[in-house]
Amino acid sequence: MKETKKWDTRKTDYQERMNGAAQYIRNGKVVAPGDTIKVLEAVIRPFDRVNIEGNNQKQADFLANCLVKCDTQRIHDLHMVQSAVPLPVHLDMFDVGIAKKLDFAFGGPMAARVATAIKEGKLELGAIHTYLELFARYFVDLTPRVSLICAYEGDANGNLYTGFNTEDTPVIAEATKFRQGIVIAQVNKLVDKVTRVDIPGGWVDMVIESPKPFFLEPLFTRDPGGITDTQVLMAMMAIKGIYAEYGIKRLNHGLGFNTAAIELLLPTYGEELGLKGKICTEWALNPHPTLIPAIESGWVKSIHCFGGELGMQRYCEARGDVFFLGPEGTMRSNRCFSQMAGHYSVDMFIGGTLQIDKYGNSSTATANRVAGFGGAPNMGCDAKGRRHSTEAWLKCGAEFVSQDEYLGTMPRGKRLVVQMVETFGEKMAPAFVNELDACKLAKNAKLPLPPVMIYSDDLTHILTEEGIAFLNKCRGLEERMAAIRGVAGLTEVGLAAKPAETRLLREKGIIKTVDDLGIDVSRANRSLLAAKNIRELVDWSGGLYDPPARFRNW
Amino acid sequence: MSNKWDTLQSQSFLECNARQRAVGLVDAGTFTEFIGPKDRMSSPHLPLMGEAIEFDDGIVTGVGLIGKRPVFVASQEGRFIGGAVGEVHGAKLVNIVRIARESYDKMLAANPKLPEGKRPAVVISFDTGGVRLHEANAGLLAHAELMDQFQDCKGKVPVISVIGSRVGCFGGMGFVAAATDVIIMSPLGRLGLTGPEVIEQEMGKDEFDASDRGMVYRTTGGKHKYIMGDCNVLVADSIEAFRKALGEVLAKPYADLAAMRRIGSLEKVQYQLKLVDLCVKIAPKDSKDVWKYAGNKNPDALVDMPLDLFLKTAERLKIA
Amino acid sequence: MAKQLRELNFEFKAETPKDFPAGFLHYGVVGSGDMEVIIEKKAMSGAVKFKVVTPVTGFDEVWRRVLERFVNETGISNASLEINDCNATPVVVSLRLRQALAEIG
């Protein structure tokens, strides 16, 4: 007799779990905050794949703090699949045994604890991903069974308003719910009618009003007061030597003071070079407060955001021509879509790193910190699936001489991937090294391969105070390494440079120094910044930007 | 950024270093530095502790003109060890005040009818956390000596404080500034005794959260000090705005300037004590409670208000 | 005993020397990660003399190279330079020295 195969075991399992929680769910889908731990114990099973929403910005911190308090007899050895682990509680989970395995994208301030937990055997690392890569795996082999998400508002039917900080929520909810998983949301406020339905109620099983609003980290706020004269100099080099040279219109900026300096030089130095309208018009970017002066001066046409930035909401809402607003007038960020935009639709990624090796591979990992990548590698790479062209992309491709080794005479464009570093960082830590600390980390934390943020074959330019190395113009590894040495200053890598060789590369236009670029170093000081402190950013915004207390200087 | 007077005027006061402030606060081309970098009078103590030194020990002293007044200037450099007062730094500061007063004595002896507009004045641009711990005894002594000099200046030489630099004016130097005749601040300037981090450390985060910079500025910043009466004149953050305010202040008769002091007479001390009583009475949780008491109906609006509007809107504290 | 402030001395001769045009110049502030310099004209048969006062140990060779390159790039000669350093990185040193020279121009 033929056995009848069951095709709905997931659904049955879902129902069983929900039955266990039913007694705590009242008034539609509402659970009292005090019942959260019981609810989690009812619906989560040992070895489950669980997602706690959290990235480098917003955090479902209330649910995380409840999960860690669950009975370890009932819940243990969870496989956490989540964007980031920036809160202490994310690692406490492994210390107490609630969780065992981790697949993630960004370590942030917990980078050192991740490394320690791995070494002590408390944490089994699946892999370090990029955001987009992890989201992709949610739909293949890392689909969460239970997801703990967060929103600004929720109603009794489960409808959620995630608004300005929508970020990762849609992708998590969709992956979980459409595989019959359980979605639990902490909301800042239970309301009768949500401002906008960002997540439909049908995808959400339980709504809990958290005692405190979810935690938000203003990660992309850089106080212009912290920008140094050196950063001003390098920003001038970037604008004149790269942005103007290639006519970069569509781009992403990594976070950091270097790119903040570029943003603040657009209305001054950029204006002076006559670049308005010719560069920096369309962005995939978080709402960086330091971009306010450029927006106000009419440089920017559009910005799509990965996430929201604390204090920028009112400003974004008042600049509807620039940001992506819903019909009701509030912005919606979306990390998945913005990462996709950053991968396929920008012509340049520029960002910083901790170390670059002599071959041009770079990483932010140190020997004892599993920092993760976040979104940088998806923008800091050549999108191989890209087929549309722009001037900047074509020019960079035309200069990419090694291309013919694979394509023959077939033309192809190339994304500009630029790393911007001072040759020596804080405490004289060299930015250029013969071997990345990531290699030591791989050994220490038993990783299958060193965590490299941007591989050399994707890197097209390196910008240091010494000059710009146009790696795309180099033929072969030897020439690339010579170009890297030529801008690596007095680091161990730079000291290996041969003056004659560097001179030749300058003649070929592969290295351009400050003098080659015709930049007057005496002008490289903070007075060139369009705003020199947070107060001036608020003034530029006409009082719309409301910076977090810790950034105020008045 | 260059030290040329013309370029300096439009610059942010907050951004300027000590020398730029000294040059820019007096009339164009009139500043002459005393014991400048060329004299290399740096700290004899710091090298023994392996600490970096500066040729001027973190303070620029000299003389310039505002109108026809010789103005003796001291300008502290907050970027060098937080503008802390060490032995040389302190001696330069004390002696610029002494020289101003001695000049006054000499000039008046030579011409008893010398109009007020030609008599010496002192301007101190504070950018300091107080005593330099590496040479604390000498630094503390300088504080006391400075107070003595101020006493000797009374009735003779007006002493004006300008505060709008990054470090602000804290520690013992907060007392010193309070003892001058007139205090000019920008909203970005801060004035206080114990620094925010130290209050938090001693009293706990619940009492004072030093990471809440909005609160720190609300408690020590120019706007609050203006409402409280600790700051006499509140100006925009530019060298020119400070220079003009100095010009206006120094155009007043000495008696008016002396009247602007916070201490220095029985009445003034009694007024300060009344402030203490008031504080006990209303037990403010935030500066905004005091602003409200002073008659500001919407104190929240004052926090981010542009300066022009603030000066028109803000009610300053007055107690009978 | 805590470590003491160190003094480094260097002397170079530019490949294509140009006389330092001013008599005396001071530039910079000894902030954290920054430095100041005094440049004085001095007859030294084309040479340049540096005195660096710094809390930093272990980077003497880096100092030598940064200063030597500054001399060769600018051609500065017949001058004495005194630097008070507070952990400035090579880029800051180069930038400040070049900015100091630009003050004269």
Quote the CA–CA distance of A232 and B158 in Å, as a whole number: 41
Residues 60-99 of C with CB under 8 A from B: 82, 84-87
The residues near B319 (Cβ < 8 Å, ≥ 6 apart) are: B271, B274, B275, B278
Average pLDDT of the segment spanning A190-219: 96
Q: Supply the pLDDT for residue B160.
A: 98
What's the ipTM?
0.95
Residue A525 touches chain B, beta carbons under 8 Å: yes
**Range(s) of the domain holding residue A442:** 224-535
Give the residue on B whose Cα is nearest the Cα of C57.
B50
Q: Which residues of C touch B36 (CB under 8 A)?
A: 26
Residue B208 touches chain A, beta carbons under 8 Å: no
Percentage of the residues of chain B whose pLDDT score is greater than 90: 92
- Number of Cβ within 10 Å of residue A476's Cβ equals 11
Quote the CA–CA distance of B41 and A176 in Å, as a whole number: 70
Residues A155 and A186 both lie in one domain: yes
Nearest to A252 by CA among A415, A470, A423: A415
Nearest to A289 by CA among A321, A260, A252, A322: A260
- Are the CB atoms for A341 and A243 separated by under 8 Å? no
- Are the CB atoms for B128 and B76 separated by under 8 Å? yes
Nearest to B181 by CA among B110, B103, B120, B122: B122
Question: Is C32 contained in some domain?
Answer: yes
Q: Which two tokens stand for residue A26?
A: 């009242």
Identify the domain boundary among A216, A241, A265. Answer: A216
Contact call for C26 and B51, based on CB within 8 A? no
For A277: left if phi > 0, alpha if psi spans -120 to 50, otherwise beta; the answer is left
Alpha helices by DSSP H, listed for chain B, are: 5-9, 18-25, 87-110, 136-153, 172-178, 196-203, 213-220, 222-228, 239-250, 254-259, 266-282, 287-293, 299-304, 307-313
Condensed to tens digits (0 to 9), the pLDDT of residues A459-501 reads 999 999 999 999 999 999 999 999 999 999 999 999 999 999 9
Percentage of the residues of chain A whose pLDDT score is greater than 90: 92
- State the total domains in chain B: 1
Q: How close does chain A come to C78, measured CA to CA in Å?
A: 23
Contact call for A465 and C33, based on CB within 8 A? no
Question: Is B157 contained in some domain?
Answer: yes
Q: Which residues of B touch A531 (CB under 8 A)?
A: none
Q: Supply the pLDDT for residue A427.
A: 81
Place of tokens 């040759």: A423
Q: Which residues of A touch C95 (CB under 8 A)?
A: 229-230, 233, 465, 521, 524
Question: Is A205 contained in some domain?
Answer: yes
Question: Is C64 contained in some domain?
Answer: yes
- State the total domains in chain C: 1
Residue C3 or residue A532, greater confidence: A532
Q: How close does chain A come to B227, measured CA to CA in Å?
A: 14
From the list C66, C103, C105, the residue facing A490 with the nearest CB is: C66
Taken in order B209, B212, B213, B216, the sign of the CA dihedral is negative
Q: How close does chain A come to C57, measured CA to CA in Å?
A: 11
From the list A525, A538, A551, the residue facing B213 with the nearest CB is: A551
Best B165, B188, B213 member to test A by mutation, with max A CBs in 10 Å, is B213
Q: Determine how β-strand B59-66 pairs with β-strand C76-77.
A: unpaired
Quote the CA–CA distance of B58 and B41 in Å, as a whole number: 10
pLDDT value at A439 more than 90:
yes
What are the beta bridge partners of residue A486? none
Alpha carbon separation from A201 to A28, A30, A169, A192, A197 (Å, rounded): 10, 12, 13, 13, 8
Spans of chain B below 70 pLDDT:
1
Quote the CA–CA distance of A489 and A486 in Å, as a whole number: 7
The residues near A231 (Cβ < 8 Å, ≥ 6 apart) are: A257, A258, A260, A261
List the subunits that have 3+ CB pairs under 8 angstroms with A. Answer: B, C
Place of tokens 């201490």: B263
pLDDT value at C1 more than 50:
no
Residues A446 and A475 both lie in one domain: yes
Q: How close does chain B come to C60, measured CA to CA in Å?
A: 16
Q: Supply the pLDDT for residue C3.
A: 79
Question: Is C44 contained in some domain?
Answer: yes
Average pLDDT of the segment spanning A396-416: 95
Condensed to tens digits (0 to 9), the pLDDT of residues C18-36 reads 888 889 999 999 999 999 9
Question: Is B32 contained in some domain?
Answer: yes
Question: Is C1 contained in some domain?
Answer: no
Domain CATH number, residue A341? 3.40.1080
Average pLDDT of the segment spanning A381-403: 96
CA C33, C36, C40: angle at the middle one, nearest 5? Answer: 155
Question: Is B278 contained in some domain?
Answer: no
Nearest to A60 by CA among A223, A186, A202, A195: A186
Question: Is B313 contained in some domain?
Answer: no
**Range(s) of the domain holding residue B113:** 5-191+230-264
Residues A264 and A402 both lie in one domain: yes
Stated as kind and residue range, the H or E segment containing B26 is none
Residue C3 touches chain B, beta carbons under 8 Å: yes
Quote the CA–CA distance of C26 and B42 in Å, as a whole number: 14
Domain CATH number, residue A144? 3.40.1080.10
Give the residue on C whose Cα is nearest the Cα of A467.
C91
Residues A212 and A229 both lie in one domain: no
pLDDT value at C2 more than 60:
no
Q: Where does residue A487 rank: exposed (0-12), middle (13-18), buried (19+ CB within 10 A)?
A: buried
Question: Is C27 contained in some domain?
Answer: yes
Question: Is A478 contained in some domain?
Answer: yes
Question: Is B219 contained in some domain?
Answer: no
Residues A165 and A236 both lie in one domain: no
Question: Is A552 contained in some domain?
Answer: no
The residues near A140 (Cβ < 8 Å, ≥ 6 apart) are: none
Q: Supply the pLDDT for residue B1.
A: 62
Q: Which two tokens stand for residue A289?
A: 């407060």
pLDDT value at A365 more than 90:
no
CA A382, A492, A447: angle at the middle one, nearest 5? Answer: 55
Give the residue on C whose Cα is nearest the Cα of A523.
C99
Question: Is B281 contained in some domain?
Answer: no
Nearest to A354 by CA among A252, A432, A451, A428: A432
Quote the CA–CA distance of A483 and A121 in Å, as a whole number: 42
pLDDT value at A283 more than 80:
yes
Q: Which residues of A touch B215 (CB under 8 A)?
A: 549
Q: Which residues of A touch C62 (CB under 8 A)?
A: 490
Residues 32-51 of C with CB under 8 A from B: 32, 34, 36, 38
Q: Which two tokens stand for residue A18?
A: 């929900």
Average pLDDT of the segment spanning A533-539: 95
Residues A89 and A163 both lie in one domain: yes
Best B4, B23, B42, B49 member to test C by mutation, with max C CBs in 10 Å, is B49
From the list A532, A533, A550, the residue facing B212 with the nearest CB is: A550
List the subunits that have 3+ CB pairs under 8 angstroms with B. Answer: A, C
Q: Supply the pLDDT for residue A25.
A: 97
Domain CATH number, residue C94? 3.30.230
Q: How close does chain A come to C62, measured CA to CA in Å?
A: 6
Residues A230 and A295 both lie in one domain: yes
From the list A423, A427, A520, the residue facing C90 with the nearest CB is: A423
Residues A89 and A192 both lie in one domain: yes
From the list C59, C95, C105, the residue facing A524 with the nearest CB is: C95
Average pLDDT of the segment spanning C68-75: 94
Nearest to A420 by CA among A232, A218, A250, A271: A232
CA A77 to chain CA centroid, Å, is 28
Amino acid occupying residue A317: E
DSSP assignment of A63-132 equals HHHHHTTS-TTTS-SEEEEEEE--SHHHHHHHHTTSEEEEEEEE-GGGHHHHHHHHHTTS-EEEEE--HH
Nearest to A222 by CA among A147, A289, A137, A146: A289
Question: Is C71 contained in some domain?
Answer: yes
Contact call for A527 and B11, based on CB within 8 A? yes
Nearest to A153 by CA among A214, A202, A205, A203: A214
Quote the CA–CA distance of A89 and A112 in Å, as a whole number: 14
- Are the CB atoms for A145 and A52 separated by under 8 Å? no
**In the A/B pair of chains, how many CB contacts fall below 8 A?**
43
- State the total domains in chain A: 2
Average pLDDT of the segment spanning A273-284: 98
Phi, psi of A152 (to 5 degrees): -70, -50
Average pLDDT of the segment spanning A523-546: 96
Identify the domain boundary among A216, A247, A277. Answer: A216
Contact call for C33 and A228, based on CB within 8 A? yes
Question: Is A502 contained in some domain?
Answer: yes
Condensed to tens digits (0 to 9), the pLDDT of residues A92-130 reads 999 999 999 999 999 888 999 999 999 999 999 999 999
Residues A200 and A346 both lie in one domain: no
Contact call for A522 and C90, based on CB within 8 A? no
Strands of A332-482 (E only): list them. Answer: 348-351, 355-357, 362-363, 416-420, 432-433, 461-464, 467-470
- Report the half-sphere exposure of A226 (CA within 13 A, side-chain side): 12
**Range(s) of the domain holding residue C40:** 6-104
Average pLDDT of the segment spanning A125-143: 97
Quote the CA–CA distance of B310 and B300 in Å, as a whole number: 12
Quote the CA–CA distance of C18 and B289 in Å, as a whole number: 65
Quote the CA–CA distance of B1 and A401 in Å, as a whole number: 42
What are the beta bridge partners of residue B76? B59
Q: Determine how β-strand B69-76 pairs with β-strand B121-126.
A: parallel
Contact call for B52 and C86, based on CB within 8 A? yes
Domain CATH number, residue B129? 3.90.226.10
Q: Supply the pLDDT for residue A1.
A: 63
